[in-house]
A and B are shown apart, each in its own frame.
Chain A
C-alpha cells in the first residue's frame, strides 16, 4: 500500500512523510487519519480523513488532497499563467508559452501544475525538456489529472441519479 503511494510520489522527485499506522484501506481506496479519527473509526466507513487515492491494478490514482500535500514540499512543479491554468482545468495540455516557472523539467517525469497563487490544479507528464524547448507553441506537459475532474464527477453522478 505504502509502496504504491511512495512510488507515485517518487515520480515527481518528491517525498512526503506518511505515518503508516494512520493509513487505512477501504476496498481499493486509501485514507490518512488523524489520531483522533483512528480511535473512532469503524470498519464499515465509506470515506474518512484525508483521501489519498486509489489503486486500480498496479496503477495508483492520486487524490487532489495528496497532490496538495506533495505541492507543500519539494517536488517537480510548474507554475502557469491564468489563461493556461483555466485551459488546464478544462482538460487541455500545457504549451511552453503558458509556463511562468518550472522546478524540475526533465522529459518523462511527472510534474504538479500550480496556478499563480501556488495552488495545485493537478498534474501532468513532461513531454519535452521545458528549459530547452524554444517553440512557445509546443505542448510541453500532457494533462493527466486536473481539478475540473470534480465537475466531471458531478455530471456523471447527476446522470446516474
Chain B
C-alpha cells in the first residue's frame, strides 16, 4: 500500500473523502494600521478582485490578480498580511485580548503574531518564540513591516518557555506539525505515520510547558494544520487527562472534533474542538483550552 493510500484510507475511516484541492490565496487586513474598506478599495483599484471570507472579520480571498499581492505598496506598508484563511482563525479564538500578556510559542514566520498584535491593538505584551535563529529574521521583518510595537522576540524552544519566568494570560500554540497535502504537493510521499507520531510527542511536550507558563484560568489555543488525529484529538484527549485542562466551546468555521478515532472513544468535550477538512481552506484543527485554577 502506498503512503497516499494509507493516509487516504485513514481519512475515509474518519468520515471524510479525499479530494484534490488547490489552496486559495487570501489576505488579512491589519486594521491597527488601516481602514478595512480603504484597503479593499485600494487593492480593487489596482485590479485585484477580492472575495470576503464569510467566517472571518478581516479576511479576503484573492479571486483574481495579475500580480503578486505580496509586492504592492499596501502590503509593504503593513496594511494587510498574506495569510491562509484557516490560519487566520486561531488568534481570533481568545477572549478579551486587550492589555493581556500573550505567548506566541512557535511564532515564525509571524503571521499570527502580527494578527495578535492587531487584536491587542498594540497594547499589552506579546512574547514570540521560535527555536531556530534563521526563522527569527522573517519574523522580525513581519513585525517591522506591520508596525507592531508590543512584541518581544526570543530564540527559544517552546518546551523551555519556563526560562522566561513569566506567566501568560493567553498562550497560542500553533505547534509544529506534519502539515497537510493541500499546501505541500509532495506531502504523501514525504510523510509516514512515524513522522506523525514523532510530531505528536513533541506537541505534547509543548502543551505541557504551555500549561506551566499559563496563569490559572488562562486560555491556551492549540492549532495544527495536520489532518492526523494523533496530532489533534488524541493529543487533546491526553491533555485533558494529564494536564488539568478544560476544552472550551468555540464558534468558528469547521466541524466538531472527533470523539471516536479508529474505534477509540475519547473525552466527549473534544467535540467542542473544530476540525477543518480541506475544502474552502486547507486542513486545520483548533482547540481552546482553559487552565483550571489549582485547589
Chain A residues near B (Cβ < 8 Å): 34, 36-37, 40-42, 44-51, 63-65, 68, 85-86, 89, 115, 119, 121, 147-148, 150-151, 153-154, 157, 160-161
Q: Would B144 and A34 count as touching, CB distance under 8 A?
A: no
**Cross-interface CB contact of B154 among A37, A45, A86, A89, cutoff 8 Å:** A45
Q: A85 — nearest CB in chain B belongs to which residue?
A: B73
Instruction: Decide yes or no: A40 and B76 within 8 Å by CB, A64-B144, A150-B141, A151-B71 being known contacts.
Output: no
Instruction: Decide yes or no: A147 and B77 within 8 Å by CB, A48-B153, A50-B149 being known contacts.
Output: yes
Residues of A within 8 A of B225 (CB): none
Q: Would A36 and B76 count as touching, CB distance under 8 A?
A: no
In the docked arrangement, what's the CA distance between A115 and B147, Å? 17
Chain B residues near A (Cβ < 8 Å): 70-71, 73, 76-77, 101, 124-125, 127, 133-134, 136-141, 143-145, 147, 149-155, 164, 166
Q: Would B153 and A37 count as touching, CB distance under 8 A?
A: no
In the assembled complex, the CB of B119 is this many whole angstroms from the nearest CB of chain A, namely 16
In the assembled complex, the CB of B136 is this many whole angstroms from the nearest CB of chain A, namely 5
Does more than half of chain A's interface fall in helix, strand or loop, or is it mixed? mixed
Q: Would A47 and B136 count as touching, CB distance under 8 A?
A: yes
In the assembled complex, the CB of A67 is this many whole angstroms from the nearest CB of chain B, namely 11
Residues of A within 8 A of B150 (CB): 34, 36-37, 49
Q: Would A48 and B76 count as touching, CB distance under 8 A?
A: no
In the assembled complex, the CB of A53 is this many whole angstroms from the nearest CB of chain B, namely 10
Q: A48 — nearest CB in chain B belongs to which residue?
A: B152
Instruction: Decide yes or no: A51 and B154 within 8 Å by CB, A89-B76, A147-B73, A151-B71 being known contacts.
Output: no
Residues of A within 8 A of B147 (CB): 65, 68
Q: A151 — nearest CB in chain B belongs to which residue?
A: B71
Q: Would A119 and B140 count as touching, CB distance under 8 A?
A: no
The 4 closest A-B pairs by CB, nearest first: A47-B153, A147-B76, A47-B140, A48-B152
Q: Would B149 and A46 count as touching, CB distance under 8 A?
A: no
Q: Would B76 and A148 count as touching, CB distance under 8 A?
A: yes
**Cross-interface CB contact of A49 among B124, B138, B149, cutoff 8 Å:** B149
Residues of B within 8 A of A45 (CB): 152-154
In the docked arrangement, what's the CA distance between A85 and B46, Å? 14
Q: B149 — nearest CB in chain A belongs to which residue?
A: A50
In the assembled complex, the CB of A82 is this many whole angstroms from the nearest CB of chain B, namely 9
Q: A160 — nearest CB in chain B belongs to which residue?
A: B134
In the docked arrangement, what's the CA distance between A41 and B150, Å? 11
**Cross-interface CB contact of A47 among B124, B151, B164, cutoff 8 Å:** B151
A-B contact sample (5 more), CB < 8 A, given A37-B152, A45-B153, A160-B134: A34-B150, A46-B154, A150-B144, A157-B134, A157-B138
**Cross-interface CB contact of A46 among B101, B141, B153, cutoff 8 Å:** B153
Q: B155 — nearest CB in chain A belongs to which residue?
A: A46
Q: Would A37 and B164 count as touching, CB distance under 8 A?
A: no
